[in-house]
Amino acid sequence: MRKIIKNSYLLISVFMLLILAACGNDTTTTDGNDSEAEKTDGPVSAKIGVISYLTGPGAAYGEAITNGFNLALEEINEKGEVKIELDIQDSAGKQEQALSVAQKLMSSDDIVAILGPTLSTEMNVVGPEADMNGIPIMGTSTTAAGIPQIGEYVFRNSLPESLAIPAALEKAVEKFDAKSVAILYGNDDLFTKSGFDTMKAVAEDMGLDIVTIETFQKGQSDYNALLTKIKDLNPDLILASALYNEGAVIMDQARKMGIEVPFIGGNGFNSPQVIEIAGPASEGLIVATPWFGDKEDPKVQEFVGKYEAKYGKKPDQFAAQAYDALYIMAEGLKNAGEADRDALRDALAEIKDLDGVLGKFSFDEEGDVVMDPTVLVIKDGKFQLFE
Partner 1 sequence: MLLEQLINGITLGSIYAIVALGFTLVFGVLGIINMAHGEIFMFGAFIGVIVTSVMGLPLWVAFIAAIAVTAVLGYMLERIALRPLRGKQGVSHLAPLISTIGVSILLENLSHHLFGAGNQPFRNAFAEIQIQIGSITIYLVQILIFVISVALMLALSYWLSKTKAGKALRATAENLETASLLGVNTKRTITTTVIIASVMGGIAGILVGMAFNSVNPQMGLSMGLKGLAIIILGGMGNVKGAMAGGLLLGIAETLIVAYGDSGYRDAVAFITIIFILLLRPQGLFGKNTAESGR
Partner 2 sequence: MLGELLNPYHLQIVSFVLINIILGISIYITLSSGQLSLGNAGFMGIGAYTSALLTINFEVPIILGIILGALVAGIFGILIGIPALRLSGVYLAIATLGFGEVMRVIFVNWESVTQGAIGLSGVPHLGREVFKTLTAIGFDPEILGLKNNQFIYLIVVSILLLINIFIVWFFVRQNKSRVGRAFAAIKMDEKAAESMGIDITYYKVLSFTQGALLAGFAGALYAHVMAYISPADFAYHRAIEILIFSVFGGSEVIWGAIFGAAFMTIMPEALRFISEYRYMIYGAILILMMAFRPQGIIDVSLLQWFKKIIKFRKGTDHGTGIKKRH
Distance CA(369)–CA(278), nearest Å, equals 31
Q: Does 10 bind partner 2 (CB under 8 A)?
A: yes
Q: Considering the rule CB under 8 A, would residue 121 count as an interface residue with partner 2?
A: yes
Is 69 exposed, middle or buried, given 0-12, 13-18 or 19+ CB atoms closer than 10 A? Answer: buried
Residue 60 CA, chain-centre distance (Å), reads: 11
Does 97 bind partner 2 (CB under 8 A)? Our answer is: yes
Question: Considering the rule CB under 8 A, would residue 9 count as an interface residue with partner 2?
Answer: yes
User: If DSSP codes are grouped into helix, strand and coil, which group holds residue 253?
Assistant: helix
Q: b/e per residue, 182-203, with b = 16+ CB within 10 A?
A: bbbbbeebbbbebbbbbbbebb
- Report the partner that residue 96 touches, choosing among partner 2, partner 1, none (CB closer than 5 to 8 A by kind): partner 2
Closer to partner 1 by CB, 228 or 362: give it: 228
**10 interacts with, out of partner 2, partner 1, none, CB within 5 to 8 A per kind:** partner 2
Which one, 15 or 176, has the nearer CB to partner 2? 15
Name the one range near partner 2 by CB under 8 A: 40-48, 182-190, 226-234, 268-276.
Answer: 182-190
| Region 14-33 residues binding partner 2, contact defined as CB under 8 A | 17, 19-21, 23-25, 27-28
Give helix then strand counts, H and E, for the chain: 13, 15
Residue 252: name its binding partner from partner 1, partner 2, none (Cβ under 5 to 8 Å by kind): partner 1
Residues of the shown chain interacting with partner 1 in the complex, contacts defined by CB under 8 A: 56-60, 187, 214-226, 228-229, 232, 245-246, 248-249, 252-253, 256-258, 273, 276-279
**Between residues 186 and 265, which has the closer beta carbon with respect to partner 2?**
186
Order the strands of the 82-90 sheet from edge to edge: 82-90, 44-52, 111-115, 137-139, 154-156
- Which of partner 2, partner 1, none interacts with 335 (beta carbon under 5 to 8 A by kind)? none
- Is 227 near partner 2 (CB under 8 A)? no
74 CB contacts (<8 Å, ≥6 apart)? none
Q: CB within 8 A of 97, min separation 6: which ones?
A: 90, 91
Q: Which of 44, 71, 72, 99 binds partner 2 (CB under 8 A)?
A: 99
| Residue 139 contacts residue 369 (beta carbons within 8 Å) | no
Binding test (CB under 8 A) with partner 2, winner from 132, 206, 225, 385: 132
First to last CA, the chain: 81
Residue number with CB closer to partner 1 (61 or 386): 61
Q: How far apart are CA 259 and CA 254, in angstroms?
A: 5
State yes or no: residue 129 binds partner 2 (CB under 8 A).
Answer: yes
CA atoms of 304 and 324, how far apart (whole Å): 13
Cα four-point dihedral sign 107, 108, 110, 115: negative
Q: How many whole angstroms from its chain centre is CA 256? A: 31
Least Å from the CB of residue 54 to partner 2: 8
Q: Which is nearer to partner 2, 38 or 197 (CB)?
A: 197
Told to check if 220 binds partner 2 by CB under 8 A, we report: no
Q: Which phi-psi region, left, alpha or beta, contains residue 159 (left: φ > 0; alpha: ψ -120 to 50)?
A: beta
For residues 74 to 93, the per-residue mask of contacts with partner 2, x marking binding by CB under 8 A and - elsewhere, is ---------------xx-x-
Binding site residues, partner 2, CB under 8 A: 3, 6-7, 9-10, 13, 17, 19-21, 23-25, 27-28, 54-56, 59, 89-90, 92, 95-97, 99-101, 103-104, 106-107, 121, 124-125, 128-129, 132-133, 144, 146, 150, 186-190, 192-194, 197, 215
